[in-house]
A and B are shown apart, each in its own frame.
Chain A
Amino acid sequence: CTSLVAEDANGNLFHGRNLDFGLFMGWDSKNRSWIITETLKPLVVNVDFTRNNRTVFKSTNFAGYVGMLTGIRPHTFTLTMNERFSLDGGYIGILEWILGKRDGMWMSFLTRSVLENATSYEEAKNRLAQTKLLAPAYFILGGNQTGQGCVITRSRVLSLDIWELDRKQNRWYVLETNYDHWKDPFFLDDRRTPAMKCMNQTMQANISIKTIYDVLSTKPVLNKLTTYTTLMEVSKGRLESYIRDCPNPCMPW
């Protein structure tokens, strides 16, 4: 996955993401595609969650999956999550759960609960950073005011790091794939470098929904695992998603 939050020169915040999933879960050599990735694409739906006939939040989901991976609380905050690999992984959390130690939260139920109940960027950030999880994760959160954008790196128990937009350091975007931002990515899976190269080439003056879609359409940021691309603009309460394909030749991940 690749998620990014960017702030334009006028202080508008944009949030984009590619949802990549299905690695090593069956390769269709005839069509040169991942089997699970292809069966997930028809399940992609956009959902408007309402209460008293008013929108509470909107999301891009896989039908049948009640947790949240991508969502917007219009005019308040935007949220995506990317997978984080760690030896202290979800299987330990599941074992604890089965043995009756149930003080952690399932990752996608936390994101769903935050989108449904948090009423500010700060509240969302605190809950995502402090709630004990069953599995490690990256939460990428955008707010509705200048400087409100961050990547929260989570282990199951701790918040290891919160990496924020910082105008003083000219950090006008934060971008997360599936590796801790303070370490180099795995050399065979470096989608971060090309994505950052394209963001820097775009420059803050030109950042928009359109140019973020260009970055997320550039191989290998777009790859054979990419199921959908979502673009969000918090000030307009706008979420739009597109099902993707990666024509050959294309990186398998």
Chain B
Amino acid sequence: QYVPPYTEECRSGMYPPRGPTFKGAVTWYTVDLDLPPSKRWTEVITDKKANLVSMIQAIKDLANSFVPSGKLIELVDRDLPLIVNTLPYPFNEEIKGIAQDSGVALGEVVLFNIFYEVFTV
């Protein structure tokens, strides 16, 4: 496991975060659980819509590199929305709200949210 320069001696004095390993602070948001589930993420998604769209696009590009015909994306956009109503409440409603707020296809937001299970494939 000792393969410098890819591994290094234990770092010290790295805190507070700064320098080349620190890419930025993280913004705080509030999600009000008293709101209807489909409305909870609106503030977050309004701010992060463009980043979400480009991340989904990166996954689509990856999928199309495996299946150039685009059939994989078609399957996601056509079939995954059928799964959303089988997901437990309130997550299904929150996912629908995110698709609504971001303009990203519902199937693609579902895929993003079940990616952990899918990725084990």
Cβ of A11 < 8 Å from any Cβ of B?
no
Whether A251 lies near B28 (C-beta < 8 A) is no
A107 touches B117 (CB 8 A): yes
Query: A interface, how many residues as a size bin?
Result: 35 or more
Tell me the B84-121 residues at the A interface (CB within 8 Å).
86-88, 91, 94-95, 98, 102, 104, 109, 112-114, 116-121
Smallest CB gap from B48: residue in A? A63
Are B95 and A66 touching (Cβ within 8 A)? yes
CB distance from A222 to the nearest CB of B (A): 6
Is there an interface contact between A49 and B33, defined as CB atoms closer than 8 Å?
Answer: yes
CB distance from B30 to the nearest CB of A (A): 5
Contact B33 A213 (CB under 8 A): no
Q: Are A90 and B20 in contact (CB under 8 A)?
A: no
Q: How far, in whole Å, are A42 and B26 apart by their CA atoms in the complex?
A: 9
Looking at B14, B86, B87, which has the most chain A CB atoms within 10 Å of its CB?
B14
Beta-carbon contact of B31 and A91 below 8 Å? no
- A86 CA / B121 CA spacing, docked (Å): 10
Chain B CB within 8 A of A45 CB:
yes
A157 at the A/B interface (Cβ < 8 Å)? no
Instruction: Chain B residues near A180: list those with CB within 8 A.
Output: none
Given contacts A45-B44, A46-B29, contact A213 B15 (CB under 8 A): yes
Q: How many angstroms from the CA of A106 to the CA of B83 in the assembled complex?
A: 12
For residue A83, CB closer than 8 A to chain B, the reply is yes
Quick check: B17 and A249 within 8 Å, CB to CB? no
CB of A119 closer than 8 Å to a CB of B: no
The answer to whether A201 has its CB under 8 Å from any CB of chain B is: yes
Partner of A64, one of B10, B48, B91, B118: B48
C-alpha gap A61/B5 in the complex (Å): 31
Chain A contacts to B: CB under 8 angstroms: 25-26, 35-36, 39-52, 56, 60, 63-67, 83, 85-86, 89-91, 93-94, 97-98, 102, 105-109, 112, 116, 134-137, 190, 193-194, 197-198, 201-202, 209-211, 213-215, 217-220, 222, 228-229, 240-247, 249-251
